[in-house]
Amino acid sequence: MSAKRLSIDNNNNKFNITMMRSPKELSREEVLKTASGFRWTKKMPKWRVVIGNRELPARPLVLEAAGVAPNDPTNSHQAVAILERLGFETRYARDIGKNQANVTPTETTPIADVILRIANEIPESELAKIPSDLSKNLDRYLYKMKTGK
């Protein structure tokens, strides 16, 4: 978040001008330092960066690290390019979950097989406790309702 400071002395009239840095000049260390205290309470944008175990909004983080205003012309794609150049992992919201679940449609398991696998893990002593008329009187067992008989 360091900005360049320029001082001009014009016949004892001092001017201090603060020039904001370009986000393109950021270092990895500056981004990491900013990310450590960065809090985002608004809706998460589509472009994100993974730092440690946190997923942060890419553009707002870059702008904060560079010390520039939120209306800076740096767009999300430029922010992502900066972060990737610095070695950070970036994600697009539509891609979330693709890398987390490496299951392709050919690798899916039919629901009946999943239910059978779970049912086979139930001990016989517990299965013996299930009433024989459970399917007919499910409401009665769930909600303690009286039957119409």
3-state secondary structure of 44: coil
Task: Report d(CA 24, CA 80) in Å as an integer.
Answer: 11
pLDDT at res. 142? 84
Q: Pairing state of beta strands 54-57 and 13-19?
A: unpaired
pLDDT at res. 34? 93
Task: Report d(CA 124, CA 120) in Å as an integer.
Answer: 9
pLDDT at res. 97? 54
Strands (E) in 2-72, as ranges, are: 4-10, 13-19, 47-51, 54-57
What are the extents of the domains in the chain? 4-95, 105-143
Which stretches of the chain score pLDDT less than 50?
A: 1-3, 5, 100-104
Task: Report d(CA 84, CA 51) in Å as an integer.
Answer: 12
3-state secondary structure of 93: helix
Tokens 């990310």 label which residue? 35
Q: What pTM was computed for the model?
A: 0.53
Q: What are phi and psi of 38, to 5 degrees?
A: -80, 130
Task: Report d(CA 63, CA 34) in Å as an integer.
Answer: 10
